[in-house]
Amino acid sequence: MKLIDINADLGESFGSWNMGEDAKMLDIVSSANIACGGHAGDASVMYDTVKLASQKDVVIGAHPGFDDKQGFGRRKIPLNILEIEQLIASQVGALVGVAGLINAKVYYVKPHGALNNWATENMDVSEAIVRAIKSSFPNLSLLAVSGTMLETAGINAGLKTFSEIFADRGYNKNGNLVPRGEKGALITDTKYAINRLVHFFQTGEMPTVCGNFIKMNAHSICIHGDNSNAVDMARNIKSILAENNIKIKSFI
């Protein structure tokens, strides 16, 4: 039997504003990328999400992003290298601190949104993220998009690095995600998402919007928690994977 993790971006509410169906997603996923107060989340939301994930035995990861709640962390902010390191250290530290209040543990870091996209194609940014993790949280792992510069930077630095693929995002022929707003960027058809994943597990190849296929590795599948059909997609993916003798288990 094969093993695969399913992760989702959670804890992305803020104050009285609610995003996603975290409680339902936490019944399905094996790992939770919890917002650290930058692109989304606040101390109270972090606390509640960490507590619920811990109660459901879901592995907790930090999900730092640009400090840009208005843009949900999906607008690129041209920080310098030191500022990127400071962003990672401060946001991950916030989640680690909040988790400590309930004796919960953070296991990994996965950058969010535009910061993650920047890192996938810029080695300086990737190395800054990796340095910050190694310097401030040497026991944490890195979850990086398969085949990207961030994955390479983590491996080269000796950081425990795991690779992910996306169930609900399209890929360009270079292996990077299609930018949001462009055709094929978002996958909302659950049947197509499932067929694409089954093909990947059978062949190790991921179809792209250009019509070709690229080789990828995967320890985890990401399903974005803010998509309107995220719960149904996650539930169906988990069911189909089970039918194909693939068990859901965290990569940690």
| CA distances in angstroms from 196 to 166, 170, 189, 191, listed in the order given | 10, 10, 11, 9
What pLDDT does 20 receive? 87
What pLDDT does 188 receive? 87
Q: How far apart are CA 148 and CA 154, in angstroms?
A: 10
Q: How far apart are CA 219 and CA 11, in angstroms?
A: 22
* For residue 12, pLDDT beyond 90: yes
pTM across the whole model:
0.95
Mean per-residue pLDDT over the chain, rounded: 94
pLDDT > 70: percent of the chain: 99
What pLDDT does 2 receive? 85
List, in sequence order, every beta strand (DSSP E) within 12-119.
31-35, 59-63, 106-109
Where do the domains of the chain lie, and which CATH numbers do they carry?
Answer: 2-248 (3.20.20.370)
217 against 98, higher pLDDT = 98
Query: Tell me, what DSSP letter sits at residue 188?
Result: -
Segment 80-107 shows an average pLDDT of 98
Per-residue pLDDT reduced to its tens digit, 18-29: 998 999 999 999
pLDDT > 90: percent of the chain: 77
Q: Which residues pair with 17 in a beta bridge?
A: 14
Per-residue pLDDT reduced to its tens digit, 203-252: 999 989 888 899 999 999 999 867 778 899 999 999 999 998 899 999 99
**Which pLDDT band, with edges at 50, 70 and 90, does 72 fall under?**
very high
What pLDDT does 96 receive? 98
